[in-house]
Amino acid sequence: MTEPVKIQIWSDYVCPFCMLAEGPLEAATEDLDVEIEWKPFELRPHPQPTLRPEDPYLPDIWKRAVYPMARRMGVDITLPTVSPQPYTRLAFEGFQYAQDRGKGDAYTRRMFRAFFQEDLDLGRIEVLTELAGELDLDREEFRTALEKGTYTARHEDALREAAAHRVQVAPTFLVGDIRMEGVPSAPQLRKAILDAQARQQEQSDESFGAACGVDGVC
């Protein structure tokens, strides 16, 4: 029996396409044996300036790409008014806290909805703490971990992993060893999962029956 197909997704909480990728992901993985792991990727790390919704770029890209895709998918999503858009390092350190407690996936999804549906500032520790509490995470412990930088090193390790995988866009999917950038369609993603599953099965079959004898010959 082969292991579940591992799906790694590098995303940023201020990337609308990362939230829109949830739909195809859920549709593609239905009834398949997969292990989904969301991973941090900061599109605009400090001190690089973040984007402002009042500048031309964001309204234009939302009009041309985000809103049309959201309508096709039936997703409620709105360009946040938070200006400038928040840095996400602190939110990602909170992700590491949540992941340690088995709630990394739920935390990621909650961040998307908080920003794109509730217009909340994910750069504020008070906001993050309240959102963590909604997930039944200990508010005081969570806040203290962020204030003390308990997960700073872990987050930096995660960013180095993203760099090692040459992640440059969000979302980036790694399905087994199959790489996909941007929002895939459900059929495209499902095919990648089935292909990865087949490769794992082939590798398992190739290793079956291998043995060494008492004479030391393998």
Q: What are the tens digits of pLDDT across the range 49-85?
A: 999 999 999 999 999 999 999 999 999 999 999 999 9
Cβ atoms of 97 and 145 within 8 Å: the answer is yes
> Across all residues in the chain, what is the average pLDDT?
95
DSSP characters over 41-73: --SS-TTSPPP-TTSSHHHHHIIIIIHHHHHHH
Q: In the sheet where 34-40 sits, what is the strand order?
A: 34-40, 5-11, 172-175, 178-181
pLDDT of residue 204: 75
Which alpha helices (DSSP H) does 74-151 contain, by range? Answer: 89-100, 104-116, 125-134, 139-148
pLDDT at 218 over 60: no
Residue 203: predicted pLDDT: 83
CA neighbor of 87 nearest in space, from 117, 56, 121: 121
User: Are 89 and 153 in contact, with CB atoms under 8 Å apart?
Assistant: no
User: Residue 85: how many CB atoms within 10 A of its CB?
Assistant: 22
**2: pLDDT confidence band, cut at 50, 70 and 90?**
confident
The confidence score (pLDDT) of residue 209 equals 59
pLDDT of residue 144 exceeding 80: yes
Distance (Å, whole) CA 78 – CA 75: 10
pLDDT classification of 207: cutoffs 50, 70, 90: low
**CB within 8 Å of 212: residues ≥ 6 apart:** 218
pLDDT, tens only, 30-44: 999 999 999 999 999
Q: Compute the C-alpha angle 138/11/101, nearest 5°.
A: 25
Look at residue 88 and tell me whether its pLDDT is greater than 90. yes
Quote the tokens at residue 195: 């292909």
Q: How far is residue 18's CA from residue 181's CA, in Å, rounded to a whole number?
A: 11
**Best CA proximity match to 5, nearest among 40, 38, 32:** 32
pLDDT at 1: 62
**In the predicted model, is pLDDT for residue 111 greater than 80?**
yes
pTM (2 decimals)? 0.92
- pLDDT value, residue 211: 62
pLDDT at 76: 97
CA separation for the pair 141, 18 (Å, rounded): 28
Query: Tens of pLDDT along 151-163?
Result: 999 999 999 999 9
Q: Is the pLDDT of residue 115 over 90?
A: yes
